[in-house]
Amino acid sequence: MSRVYDRVALIGLGLIASSMFWAIKRAGLAGEVTGHARSAETRDTAREIGLCDRVCDSAAEAAEGADLVVLCVPVGAMGAVAAEIAPVLDPGATVSDVGSVKKAVIDAVGPHVPRGVHFVPAHPLAGTEHSGPRSGFAELFDNRWCLIVPENGSDRDAIARLERFWQGMGAHTDEMDADHHDLVLAVTSHAPHLIAYTMVGVADDLRRVTDSEVIKYSAAGFRDFTRIAASDPVMWRDVFLSNKEATLEILGRFTEELFALQRAIRTGDGAHLQDYFTRTRAIRRGIIEAGQDTDAPDFGRVRPG
Ligand code: NAP
């Protein structure tokens, strides 16, 4: 894979940006990668571990002269960062982002993008429960999807170039409009995270079950919820605040189904429960067939002994 951009600027140096940096280097996709993070501590860590060719003390300094600037900060911080870099953006440059919500980011960032600068929002569907500059790795996006969410009138060449860039980092790309993206992600990511947070919160509140039992017997299913519920609190606060409508719509449906299952349990309606669980099992099979997870038992976890 060859160079797609001469200079890429990564604003925010957490899990996603650090993974992008290592993936860019793996494939030689950029001549130079500059980076900026809000805190001196993160910038120092980045310099120490060689994350970015040049770590800058301001977002504007990192963005100056870049032909691609990617906003990799929490969704709620995107607008302020876009305002800060706007004056230094060159005509013909592309601004993109990796935010987990698209409509709110487009509304916050779009108005700051100067004329002649392309704005092509994107969202890589890849992540872990870890965060910060040390958490990234080059393989994060391999065989994962990156959704490109162009706005009406987005420049086709700028879109194609950004798609090539994500493909170079190992991802498959697809295009989607912002409202549809936010609804799909509410189903596949946002509502499941809220349910995991709730389940772990319930276990924490249930003082009849001691902490040590919750931890000791967690492999019975609870452990998988705890992994999701360990995700970054600021990132997820912003996701729910900015994808309100779609998340509430899905949670409404979830609550209705939960009541139906609750009723089936109370009335002893085994057929309903079995039909339901048969249907859901097929979805798991579909995910494995699509190459989006492993069919090894227990998600491929290594067993002791
Ligand atoms: P992260 O590891 O927590 O890193 C966030 C970075 O943003 C840090 O470098 C942080 O700087 C910086 N930052 C935070 N608030 C800021 C502000 N107000 N102004 C300027 N910089 C700020 O986060 P991440 O997981 O990489 O997520 C980044 C973006 O990717 C989010 O929009 C998220 O929705 C999206 N995303 C995440 C995942 C995932 O699974 N994690 C997946 C796909 C997309 P300091 O370190 O100095 O605080």
Asked if residues 75 and 49 have their Cβ atoms less than 8 Å apart, the reply is no
**CA torsion sign, 181 to 183 to 187 to 193?**
positive
Q: What integer is the mean pLDDT of 208-237?
A: 84
Most confident region among 50-54, 148-152, 204-208, 281-285 by mean pLDDT: 50-54
Q: In which band, very low, low, confident or very high, does the pLDDT at 222 lie, cut at 50, 70 and 90?
A: confident
- Angle between helix 191-205 and 244-267 (nearest 10): 60
Look at residue 12 and tell me whether its pLDDT is greater than 80.
yes
> Which residue out of 96, 98, 235 has the highest number of ligand 1 atoms within 8 Å of its CB and is therefore the one to mutate?
235
Asked if residues 224 and 195 have their Cβ atoms less than 8 Å apart, the reply is no
**What whole-number percentage of the chain has pLDDT above 70?**
97
Q: Residue 305 has what pLDDT? A: 45
Q: How many Cα atoms within 13 Å fall on the side-chain side of residue 106? A: 20
Beta bridge partners of 123: 147
Residue with CA closest to ligand 1 atom 17: 77
Beta bridge partners of 95: 69, 119
> Which residue out of 15, 57, 189, 190 has the highest number of ligand 1 atoms within 8 Å of its CB and is therefore the one to mutate?
15
The CATH code of the domain at 5-176 is 3.40.50.720
Look at residue 152 and tell me whether its pLDDT is greater than 80.
no
pLDDT tens-place string over residues 76-96: 999 999 999 999 999 999 999
pLDDT tens-place string over residues 88-134: 999 999 999 999 999 999 999 999 999 999 999 999 999 999 999 99
Look at residue 211 and tell me whether its pLDDT is greater than 50.
yes
Phi and psi based region of residue 260 (left: phi greater than 0; alpha: psi -120 to 50; beta: remaining): alpha
Look at residue 298 and tell me whether its pLDDT is greater than 80.
no
Distance from the first to the final alpha carbon of the chain: 42
3-state SS, residue 84: helix
CB atoms within 10 A of CB 188: 11
Query: Which atom of ligand 1 is the closest one to the Cα of 232?
Result: 3
How far apart are alpha carbons 232 and 197 in whole angstroms? 11
**Class at the top of the CATH hierarchy for domain 180-295:** mainly alpha
Rounded distance from Cα 223 to ligand 1 centre (Å)? 25
Is 77 close to ligand 1, i.e. is its CB under 6 Å away?
yes
Residues 6 or more apart whose CB falls under 8 angstroms from that of 66 comprise: 5, 7, 8, 9, 34, 90, 93
Q: Which amino acid is at 81?
A: V
Rounded distance from Cα 15 to ligand 1 centre (Å)? 7
CB atoms within 10 A of CB 198: 12
Is 10 close to ligand 1, i.e. is its CB under 6 Å away?
no
Is 83 close to ligand 1, i.e. is its CB under 6 Å away?
no
Is 76 close to ligand 1, i.e. is its CB under 6 Å away?
no
Is 132 close to ligand 1, i.e. is its CB under 6 Å away?
yes
- Whether 5-176 and 180-295 share one fold: the answer is no
Q: Residue 294 has what pLDDT? A: 81
Is 100 close to ligand 1, i.e. is its CB under 6 Å away?
yes
1-18 burial: b if 16+ Cβ within 10 Å, else e = eeebbebbbbbbbbbbbb
Q: Residue 148 has what pLDDT? A: 98
User: Domain spans of the chain?
Assistant: 5-176, 180-295
Q: Residue 284 has what pLDDT? A: 87
3-state SS, residue 12: coil
pLDDT tens-place string over residues 223-263: 889 889 999 999 999 999 999 999 999 999 999 999 999 99
